[in-house]
Structure 1
Amino acid sequence: MKVQVEQKLVDKKINPTAMRLLVLDLLLQQNSAISLSDIEKNLEPADRTTIYRTLKTFEEKGLTHTIDDGTGTPKYALCPEECDDHEHHDLHVHFYCNSCKETFCLPNSKIPDVMLPNGFAPSEMNLIVKGTCDKCKN
């Protein structure tokens, strides 16, 4: 497993430091997006600033993306393989469960094209659907 985690970093041209390996391994274990605070709790006594810098590096290299789910706390999730340091290809819907408070990536649910008036130039898009996830509904 450690070799696979290290190889993912190498493939994205990220130097595989101990902290980066730990953060990526944790992200790979998640079924939903995770906050910086939750990562910090799972990796205690790791330094919050180092974890944050690691996440920023991952995002810059196309390994993770940040999700603003409306809670005021950014969440982090792994990107699809085709994301890289030039462009993210993760324009998919995110789902926030009002019951368990988890945020899920829905990569098979693409954000629809939005027609903007002339002169408007989008730099990013984010679509959050809120409701009850399948786990909480059952």
Structure 2
Amino acid sequence: MVHPLEETLIARQIAPTPMRLLVLDVLQRHPAALSLADVELLLEHADRITVHRTLKTFTEKGLVHRIEDGSGAVKFALCEPQCTPEQHHDLHVHFFCTRCRETSCLPTVAVPTIALPAAYQVQETSLVMKGLCAGCAGIPTSIS
């Protein structure tokens, strides 16, 4: 019987190596987006280059998306199931908490469409909002 983590990797045509399985497990267990340094700390004895290559592969295969939240470190979060290597469908708002410094995906909050002049060709869109997350603001909520 194949483990669910292995199934996830195989479905994205990613060979399920021990390090890839560990990185995927870490990403699945943490609700907030994680930086390369975060993943390294959570894996303790992981080789930085191997973790970096794993995250790069996951991004290329549509398993994770990159978030540049202005904190100085690129963060990674699991993609929506419909993402593919050719097209990420994670067009949603990301929220960076200025107190706890966590970045969260808000998949139910869509990025608004912005009309640009015809000569401009959009290749990537992201929207990062900053402030206090519900936990830091002391407001009970459920984020989906």
1:86 aligns with 86
SS of 1:15's partner is coil
After TM superposition, the structure 1 = structure 2 runs for residues 68-79 of structure 1, keeping only pairs within 5 Å, are 68-79=68-79
After TM superposition, the structure 1 = structure 2 runs for residues 87-106 of structure 1, keeping only pairs within 5 Å, are 87-106=87-106
2:60 aligns with 60
Matched to 1:50, the amino acid is T
Deviation at 1:72, TM superposition (A): 1.0
2:11 aligns with 11
Whole-Å separation in 1 of the counterparts to 2:65 and 2:92: 11
How big is each residue's C-alpha offset from its partner over 1:16-45, in whole Å with a ceiling of 9 and x where there is no partner? 000000000000001100110010011121
2:135 aligns with 135
Q: Structure 1 regions of 5+ residues with no counterpart?
A: none
Whole-Å separation in 2 of the counterparts to 1:12 and 1:61: 6
Whole-Å separation in 1 of the counterparts to 2:85 and 2:76: 17
Whole-Å separation in 2 of the counterparts to 1:42 and 1:51: 11
Whole-Å separation in 2 of the counterparts to 1:88 and 1:38: 23
After TM superposition, the runs of 4+ consecutive aligned structure 1 residues lying more than 3 A away are none
Deviation at 1:99, TM superposition (A): 1.1
Q: Percent identity?
A: 50
RMSD between aligned residues: 0.9
Q: When the two structures are superposed, what TM-score results if normalisation uses the length of structure 2?
A: 0.93
Q: When the two structures are superposed, what TM-score results if normalisation uses the length of structure 1?
A: 0.97
1:34 aligns with 34
Deviation at 1:6, TM superposition (A): 0.8
Whole-Å separation in 2 of the counterparts to 1:70 and 1:14: 30
2:109 aligns with 109
Q: For this pair of structures, how many residues does the alignment match?
A: 137
Whole-Å separation in 1 of the counterparts to 2:42 and 2:106: 24
SS of 2:3's partner is helix
